[in-house]
């Protein structure tokens, strides 16, 4: 997590946009390894909200076609596509689109997925078959003005009433005056999960069972980001939840808004870094249910959330919306 505040008013223009595109093209592989993770580990950590996204889109339709904007390497949509759930993915990075197509082929999902090289503010020419929009960690790479432009363009191209599922890193701009007290169960689970994570890191280092190459590459990206005043990529800044929700309400009806995957992504990444596939998945099967349950318990405590995830600390938030 970042250690200092960073403004969402990132300089706009061709220079910073080109820098962002170059960063994603150069680092597509390493970001895919770290963020996408082993498919089993990723699914165990994320399946609750991914299945909820699928159910959200299919609630009133048996068969749907979803547009995933900023699809990256394609893993999000590919986790939930099926005979009755098809997907069109777009991304501005040629390398990410290449990975998305390769991943679809490797998983034998080509019949369910189509990928197109497009900027986030450009939509496919034919949008008549689209039933909803999936946005997974895209908007925090845009400035507030670019976010507003994105939704204005979306409203012009996508029919009213369409469903929008958004998952983004977010924070509160100031804490609550209420105490950040945790019930005994949540307190115990949080300490237990942190202890397990520290033990796994220690054992991994002692026994040298971690993927040192990937870790070093990602650490180098983090160090460069810190030196440049970035979160990770040049334009990336988590969303101010209050500010973003206000922007969203101008275009959408927000049906539900809730926190998800508070710490479990980070804890899961420790397990994901273990090189041996069998050991990695065994540890995931043992410990990830604890991590997910810990997140679930913590997410039910609004005072804890309001005090814990204040800029620059952040977690992941979901908005389920309908386009006005």
Q: Which residue has the higher pLDDT, 243 or 2?
A: 243
Assign 178 a pLDDT band (cuts: 50, 70, 90).
confident
Give the span between the Cα atoms of 288 and 105, in whole angstroms.
28
Question: What local confidence, expressed as pLDDT, does residue 179 receive?
Answer: 75
**In this predicted structure, which of 40-49, 260-269, 302-311, 313-322 has the lowest mean pLDDT?**
302-311
Question: What local confidence, expressed as pLDDT, does residue 196 receive?
Answer: 98
Q: Which residues contact 72 (CB under 8 A, 6 or more apart)?
A: 31, 32, 35, 36, 91, 93, 96, 99, 100, 136, 137
Share in percent of the chain as helix, strand, coil (round to 5): 50, 20, 30
The b-or-e profile of 192-229 (16+ CB within 10 A means b, else e) is ebeebbeebeeebeeeebbbeebeebbeebeeebeeee
Give the span between the Cα atoms of 211 and 127, in whole angstroms.
42
State yes or no: pLDDT of 60 exceeds 80. Answer: yes
Structural domains of the chain in order of their starting residue, each with its CATH number? 14-323 (3.40.50.150)
Question: What local confidence, expressed as pLDDT, does residue 1 receive?
Answer: 44
Neighbours of 3 (CB within 10 A): 7
Residues 290 and 192: beta-carbon distance below 8 Å:
yes
State yes or no: pLDDT of 175 exceeds 90. Answer: no
Assign 181 a pLDDT band (cuts: 50, 70, 90).
confident
Question: What local confidence, expressed as pLDDT, does residue 244 receive?
Answer: 96
Considering the entire predicted model, what is its pTM? 0.95
Q: Each residue of 141-165: pLDDT tens digit?
A: 999 999 999 999 999 999 999 999 9
Region 219-237 average pLDDT: 93
Question: What local confidence, expressed as pLDDT, does residue 2 receive?
Answer: 45
Assign 191 a pLDDT band (cuts: 50, 70, 90).
very high
State yes or no: pLDDT of 12 exceeds 80. Answer: no
Region 106-125 average pLDDT: 94
Question: What local confidence, expressed as pLDDT, does residue 62 receive?
Answer: 83
Region 4-29 average pLDDT: 80
**In this predicted structure, which of 10-19, 190-199, 209-218 has the lowest mean pLDDT?**
10-19
Question: What local confidence, expressed as pLDDT, does residue 210 receive?
Answer: 96
């Amino acid at each position: 997590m970042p250690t200092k505040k960073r403004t969402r008013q990132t300089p706009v223009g061709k220079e910073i946009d080109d820098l962002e595109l170059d960063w994603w093209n150069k680092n597509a592989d390493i970001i895919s390894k770290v963020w996408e993770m082993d498919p089993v580990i990723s699914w165990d950590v994320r399946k609750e909200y991914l299945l909820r996204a699928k159910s959200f889109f299919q609630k009133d339709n048996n068969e749907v076609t979803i547009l995933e904007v900023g699809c990256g390497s394609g893993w999000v949509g590919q986790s939930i596509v099926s005979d009755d759930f098809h997907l069109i993915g777009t991304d501005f990075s040629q390398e990410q689109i290449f990975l998305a197509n390769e991943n679809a082929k490797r998983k034998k999902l080509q019949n369910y997925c189509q990928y197109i090289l497009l900027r986030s503010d450009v939509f496919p020419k034919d949008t008549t078959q689209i039933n909803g929009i999936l946005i997974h960690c895209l908007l925090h790479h845009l400035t507030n003005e670019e976010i507003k432009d994105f939704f204005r363009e979306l409203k012009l191209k996508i029919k009213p009433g369409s469903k929008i599922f958004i998952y983004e890193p977010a924070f509160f701009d100031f804490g609550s005056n209420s105490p950040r007290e945790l019930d005994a169960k949540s307190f115990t689970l949080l300490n237990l999960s942190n202890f397990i994570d520290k033990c796994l890191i220690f054992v991994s280092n002692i026994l040298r069972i971690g993927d040192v190459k990937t870790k070093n590459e990602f650490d180098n990206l983090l160090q460069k980001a810190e030196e440049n005043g970035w979160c990770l990529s040049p334009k990336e800044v988590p969303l101010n939840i209050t500010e973003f929700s206000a922007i969203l309400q101008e275009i959408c009806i927000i049906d539900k808004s809730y926190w998800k995957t508070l710490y479990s992504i980070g804890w899961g990444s420790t397990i994901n870094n273990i090189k041996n596939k069998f050991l990695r998945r065994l540890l995931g099967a043992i410990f990830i249910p604890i991590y997910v349950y810990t997140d679930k318990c913590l997410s039910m405590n609004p005072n804890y959330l309001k005090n814990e995830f204040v800029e620059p600390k952040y977690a992941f938030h979901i908005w389920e919306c309908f386009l006005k």
